Chain A
Amino acid sequence: MPAMTQIRQSLVIALWFMFLTFPILVIRVNTIENIIEWRWLNMLYIGAGSFLGSFAWRYFLARKGQGTRKIAAPGGTAAAATAPPETGPDGNDLSASARSAGKSRTFPSIPEVEAVSAPADLGGVLTPAPAYADKPWLHRLLDSPRLYRPFLIALAVAALVFPFLPFASTYQINILTNALLYVMLGLGLNVVVGLAGLLHLGYVAFYAVGAYSYALLYYHFGIGFWTALPLGALLAALFGILLGFPVLRLRGDYLAIVTLGFAEITRLVLENWNEFSFGPSGIAGIPRPGLFGWEMDLHAATIYIYFLMIVLCLLTIFVVNRLQNSRIGRAWVALREDETACEAMGVNPTAAKLTAFALGSTWAGLAGVVFAAKTTFVNPASFTFLESAMILSIVVLGGMGSIVGVIIGAFILILMPEYLRAFSEYRMLLFGLIMVVMMIFRPQGIVSGVRRSYEFHRETGEKR
Chain B
Amino acid sequence: MDYFLELFLGGLTRGSIYALIALGYTMVYGIIELINFAHGEIYMIGAFTALIVSSVLAFAGFSGMSVLFLAAAVAIIYSAAYGFTVEKIAYKPLRQAPRLSPLISAIGMSIFLQNYVMLAQTSDFLPFPSLLPELPFLGKLGVNIGSTELIILVTTAISMVFLTLLIKFTRMGKAMRATAQDRNMAMLVGVDVNRTISYTFIIGSVLAAIGGVLIASHIGRINFYIGFIAGIKAFTAAVLGGIGSIPGAVLGALVLGWTESFATGYVSSDYEDVFAFILLVLILIVRPSGLLGRSTVQKV
Contact present for A436 and B112 (CB under 8 Å):
yes
* Nearest CB on B from A292, distance (A): 44
The answer to whether the Cβ of B281 comes within 8 Å of any Cβ in the partner chain is yes
The answer to whether the Cβ of B81 comes within 8 Å of any Cβ in the partner chain is yes
Contacts of B45 in A (CB 8 A): 24
Contact present for B107 and A389 (CB under 8 Å):
yes
Given contacts A28-B121, A29-B51, A258-B280, whether A439 and B94 have CB atoms under 8 Å apart is: yes
The answer to whether the Cβ of B82 comes within 8 Å of any Cβ in the partner chain is yes
The answer to whether the Cβ of B126 comes within 8 Å of any Cβ in the partner chain is yes
* Nearest CB on A from B216, distance (A): 13
Given contacts A24-B52, A253-B99, A396-B104, whether A262 and B111 have CB atoms under 8 Å apart is: no
Contact present for A265 and B117 (CB under 8 Å):
no
Q: How far is the CA of A21 from the CA of B85 in the complex (A)?
A: 11
The answer to whether the Cβ of A421 comes within 8 Å of any Cβ in the partner chain is no
Given contacts A19-B81, A34-B59, whether A105 and B97 have CB atoms under 8 Å apart is: no
One digit per residue, 1 when the CB lies within 8 angstroms of any chain A CB and 0 when it does not, for chain B 77-120 equals 01001100100011001100111111111011111111111011
The answer to whether the Cβ of A197 comes within 8 Å of any Cβ in the partner chain is yes
Q: Which residue of chain B has the shortest Cβ distance to A57 in the bound complex?
A: B89
The answer to whether the Cβ of A5 comes within 8 Å of any Cβ in the partner chain is no
* Nearest CB on A from B81, distance (A): 6
* Nearest CB on A from B25, distance (A): 10
* Nearest CB on A from B272, distance (A): 9
From A348-356, A359-367, A425-433, the one touching the partner chain is A425-433
Contact present for B273 and A36 (CB under 8 Å):
no
Which of B81, B108, B127, B239 makes the CB contact (< 8 A) with A20?
Answer: B81
Contact present for B52 and A23 (CB under 8 Å):
yes
Q: How far is the CA of A439 from the CA of B236 in the complex (A)?
A: 26
Contact present for B126 and A107 (CB under 8 Å):
no
* Nearest CB on A from B277, distance (A): 4
One digit per residue, 1 when the CB lies within 8 angstroms of any chain A CB and 0 when it does not, for chain B 227-243 equals 01000100110010000
Contact present for B288 and A20 (CB under 8 Å):
no
Given contacts A19-B81, A254-B284, whether A432 and B115 have CB atoms under 8 Å apart is: yes
Contact present for B228 and A385 (CB under 8 Å):
yes
Residues A389-442 near B (CB distance < 8 A): 389, 392-393, 396, 425-426, 428-429, 431-436, 439-440
Interface SS majority for chain A: helix
Size of the chain A interface, CB-CB below 8 angstroms: 61
Q: How far is the CA of A429 from the CA of B111 in the complex (A)?
A: 7
Given contacts A436-B90, A436-B108, A440-B105, whether A425 and B119 have CB atoms under 8 Å apart is: yes
* Nearest CB on A from B134, distance (A): 21
Given contacts A31-B127, A61-B93, A254-B284, whether A265 and B277 have CB atoms under 8 Å apart is: yes
Q: Which residue of chain A has the shortest Cβ distance to B221 in the bound complex?
A: A31
* Nearest CB on A from B244, distance (A): 12
* Nearest CB on B from A248, distance (A): 10
Q: Which residue of chain B has the shortest Cβ distance to A428 in the bound complex?
A: B115
Q: How far is the CA of A431 from the CA of B122 in the complex (A)?
A: 19
The answer to whether the Cβ of B167 comes within 8 Å of any Cβ in the partner chain is no
One digit per residue, 1 when the CB lies within 8 angstroms of any chain B CB and 0 when it does not, for chain A 61-99 equals 100000000000000000000000000000000000000
The answer to whether the Cβ of B18 comes within 8 Å of any Cβ in the partner chain is no
Contact present for B284 and A27 (CB under 8 Å):
no
Contact present for A254 and B111 (CB under 8 Å):
no
The answer to whether the Cβ of A244 comes within 8 Å of any Cβ in the partner chain is no
Contacts of A262 in B (CB 8 A): 277, 281
Q: How far is the CA of A257 from the CA of B240 in the complex (A)?
A: 13
Contact present for A108 and B97 (CB under 8 Å):
yes
Given contacts A36-B59, A258-B281, A264-B232, whether A201 and B107 have CB atoms under 8 Å apart is: yes
Q: How far is the CA of A108 from the CA of B97 in the complex (A)?
A: 8
* Nearest CB on A from B73, distance (A): 13
Contact present for B271 and A268 (CB under 8 Å):
yes
The answer to whether the Cβ of B138 comes within 8 Å of any Cβ in the partner chain is no
Interface centre among A20, A24, A425, A434 (most CB of B within 10 A): A24
One digit per residue, 1 when the CB lies within 8 angstroms of any chain A CB and 0 when it does not, for chain B 261-300 equals 0000000001101100110110011001000000000101
The answer to whether the Cβ of A301 comes within 8 Å of any Cβ in the partner chain is no
Given contacts A246-B285, A256-B35, whether A432 and B98 have CB atoms under 8 Å apart is: no
The answer to whether the Cβ of A25 comes within 8 Å of any Cβ in the partner chain is yes
The answer to whether the Cβ of A170 comes within 8 Å of any Cβ in the partner chain is no
The answer to whether the Cβ of B49 comes within 8 Å of any Cβ in the partner chain is yes
Q: Which residue of chain A has the shortest Cβ distance to B58 in the bound complex?
A: A34
Given contacts A264-B232, A265-B277, A436-B90, whether A252 and B56 have CB atoms under 8 Å apart is: no
Residues B4-27 near A (CB distance < 8 A): none
Interface centre among B93, B111, B117 (most CB of A within 10 A): B111
Contacts of A435 in B (CB 8 A): 104-105, 107-109, 111
* Nearest CB on A from B231, distance (A): 10
Contact present for A258 and B284 (CB under 8 Å):
yes
The answer to whether the Cβ of A223 comes within 8 Å of any Cβ in the partner chain is no
The answer to whether the Cβ of B55 comes within 8 Å of any Cβ in the partner chain is yes
* Nearest CB on B from A417, distance (A): 13
The answer to whether the Cβ of A219 comes within 8 Å of any Cβ in the partner chain is no
Which of A29, A257, A269 makes the CB contact (< 8 A) with B126?
Answer: A29
Contacts of A340 in B (CB 8 A): 298, 300
Q: How far is the CA of A372 from the CA of B280 in the complex (A)?
A: 31
Contact present for B55 and A249 (CB under 8 Å):
no
Contacts of B82 in A (CB 8 A): 20
Contacts of B278 in A (CB 8 A): 265
Q: Which residue of chain B has the shortest Cβ distance to A344 in the bound complex?
A: B300
Contacts of B110 in A (CB 8 A): 432
Interface centre among A249, A253, A389, A431 (most CB of B within 10 A): A253
Which of A260, A264, A428 makes the CB contact (< 8 A) with B273?
Answer: A264
The answer to whether the Cβ of B53 comes within 8 Å of any Cβ in the partner chain is yes
Which of A24, A385, A393 makes the CB contact (< 8 A) with B121?
Answer: A24
User: What are 11 pairs between A and B in contact, CB < 8 Å?
Assistant: A20-B85, A199-B100, A247-B281, A253-B99, A264-B274, A268-B273, A341-B300, A392-B104, A426-B115, A428-B114, A432-B111
B contact set with A: CB distance below 8 Å: 33-35, 45, 48-49, 51-53, 55-56, 59, 74, 78, 81-82, 85, 89-90, 93-94, 97-105, 107-117, 119-122, 126-127, 228, 232, 235-236, 239, 270-271, 273-274, 277-278, 280-281, 284-285, 288, 298, 300
A28-B120, A257-B235, A396-B104 provided; 11 other pairs, C-beta below 8 A?
A28-B122, A29-B55, A105-B98, A257-B35, A262-B281, A265-B278, A265-B281, A268-B271, A431-B108, A435-B109, A436-B112
The 9 A-B residue pairs whose C-beta atoms are closest, nearest first, are: A435-B108, A432-B112, A432-B111, A261-B277, A429-B115, A436-B108, A439-B105, A29-B55, A272-B270
